[in-house]
Structure 1
Amino acid sequence: MLKNHKVFTLVFGLIFLLNIFAQSDLLQDFNLFIKPLICISLAIYLYKNVNMAVGFNRLVCAGLIFSLFGDCFLLFASSDIYFFLYGLVSFLLAHVLYSFAFFRDFKNNPQASKFYGHLMLFLLGVFTLSFYSFIRDYLNDFRIPVMVYMFVISVMAILAAYRYKRVNLLSFRLILFGAVFFVISDAALAFNKFVEPYSFAGILIMSTYMVAQYLITIGAIERKVEEMK
């Protein structure tokens, strides 16, 4: 899989490392220029390698664009809490767009296996309810926004799992793992933001986030719809 995207993976690997270094004092002053490169590079690469007349591809590309807005807003979240809220809304819309994209694949063959979708529904149901119950008392005015956000990102990951047997296995795996990494990244962000900051938060949040966006993008490029049987 990586052979088909060797050059871009190397370029994105450099962007990945720059963003990790930007979590320390080494490149922190350049974060304003480095962080937007994540979704800009992915959106351009997606645009160049897929047919943008296909609704699935347009939705994923739009999701990357709203993620870019979210990245930019979160850069200023420490100076104004409203920027965190704007970032939350931007990523919420990105997840809604990803969800619509994944639901398109489910609609292609609703009768195909639902095993992984049902499994993800159970696992994320348990995790989301448990995690929200744990952080709820720390959220204050953000209880409802965070609850809505967690519900939407869970739906996105569940719909990614329901793509099984509806698209080729490579695309299914890439996007499913991308969705799982997104859940991990946002859970780590919520814990650091609302419960207790921890020393390696920036690296954990950014690394899982970048892996998530990369896998979803490559999964979209590698996507082939399975014929109904």
Structure 2
Amino acid sequence: MRNKNILWLYIFLLVAVIDLFFTAEGNSEFRIYSKPLIILSLGFYFWQISKNVAGTLIRKAMLGALIFSWLGDVLLLFPYLFLYGLGAFLMAHVCFIISFKISQEKPFEIGQVNFIKLFLYNLPIYIPAGIAYFLINPGLGEFKIPVVIYILIIVTMVTTARERFGKTNASSFWQVFIGAFTFMISDGILAINMFYKPFPEAPVLVMGTYILAQLLIIMGIRAHYLKG
């Protein structure tokens, strides 16, 4: 069974490399076949390794995040469906927030909160998000409100990942946090390319960081308590 699980990871890596190749070559017509397979194969991997926690909120939330991510990938293949794709990924991040919150020790314990210290801890997350917004703001136009909402949600997703520090094992924390932060970087590159200044390397950078982010998040959640 373990070898079968690993097979899905190999498929994920294979289709990811193929999609990156098509992206670099500008073969958008072929990406209709390769891009949807990335999250689909990663989703099958998570489905297999999470059977021992079937029915739990963590499994449902993570599968929800993967389903919405897959839907977002498909929708963003068509530029005129951008807002729908943005909405799908927003829902994916909400599912990730739930997943990160409950995959830690005593997730709902309320203790003393030092807001100044909390702000300083999260400052490395706020700064790149703020810079990205500063750059893209003039070019947002009618997309301003949905993009601002999206930025707030993804920043919340990354800060929720950071708040797991000391509340899970080191491997789980770092993989989830780096994955969440990389996801934000990927979206930031996409936004800058769309709304500020297009540059030729953007599509490969967006997909490369996105693929890495999804893999790290899955492996980080797995490292918390799942057995693959």
TM-score (norm 2): 0.86
Residue number in structure 1 paired with 2:201: 200
Q: State the alpha-carbon separation in 1 of the partners of residues 36 and 215 from structure 2.
A: 14
Residue number in structure 2 paired with 1:31: 31
Q: Which amino acid aligns with 2:11?
A: V
Q: CA deviation at 1:113?
A: 11
Residue number in structure 1 paired with 2:14: 14
Structure 1 residues 120 and 156: CA distance shift in structure 2, 3 A:
farther
Q: Which amino acid aligns with 1:68?
A: W
**Range with bigger deviation, 86-95 or 167-176:** 167-176
SS of the equivalent of 2:23 reads coil
Q: State the alpha-carbon separation in 2 of the partners of residues 41 and 110 from structure 1.
A: 38
Q: State the alpha-carbon separation in 1 of the partners of residues 195 and 26 from structure 2.
A: 26
Residue number in structure 1 paired with 2:90: 92
Alpha-carbon contact 1:178-1:212 (below 8 Å) kept: yes
Deviation string 1:29-66 (CA, Å, 9 cap, x unpaired) is 22111101111111111010012322112201110100
Q: CA deviation at 1:16?
A: 1.6
Q: State the alpha-carbon separation in 1 of the partners of residues 174 and 113 from structure 2.
A: 15
Q: State the alpha-carbon separation in 2 of the partners of residues 111 and 68 from structure 1.
A: 37
- 1:157 is the counterpart of 2:158: yes
Q: State the alpha-carbon separation in 2 of the partners of residues 184 and 105 from structure 1.
A: 23
Residue number in structure 2 paired with 1:76: 78
Q: CA deviation at 1:133?
A: 2.0
Residue number in structure 2 paired with 1:215: 216
Identity between Structure 1 and Structure 2 (%)? 31
Residue number in structure 1 paired with 2:191: 190
Q: State the alpha-carbon separation in 2 of the partners of residues 223 and 165 from structure 1.
A: 12
TM-score (norm 1): 0.86
SS of the equivalent of 1:17 reads helix
Give unpaired runs (5+ residues) of structure 1.
Answer: none
Residue number in structure 1 paired with 2:62: 60
Structure 1 residues 144 and 11: CA distance shift in structure 2, 3 A:
same
Alpha-carbon contact 1:154-1:183 (below 8 Å) kept: yes
Structure 1 residues 117 and 96: CA distance shift in structure 2, 3 A:
farther
Alpha-carbon contact 1:102-1:160 (below 8 Å) kept: yes
Q: Which amino acid aligns with 2:100?
A: F
Q: State the alpha-carbon separation in 1 of the partners of residues 172 and 93 from structure 2.
A: 18
State the Cα RMSD in Å. Answer: 2.6
Give unpaired runs (5+ residues) of structure 2.
Answer: none
Q: CA deviation at 1:7?
A: 4.3
Structure 1 residues 180 and 91: CA distance shift in structure 2, 3 A:
same
Structure 1 residues 96 and 26: CA distance shift in structure 2, 3 A:
closer
Structure 1 residues 27 and 138: CA distance shift in structure 2, 3 A:
closer
Residue number in structure 1 paired with 2:46: 46
Q: CA deviation at 1:218?
A: 1.3
Alpha-carbon contact 1:117-1:158 (below 8 Å) kept: no
Q: CA deviation at 1:212?
A: 0.5
Residue number in structure 2 paired with 1:146: 147
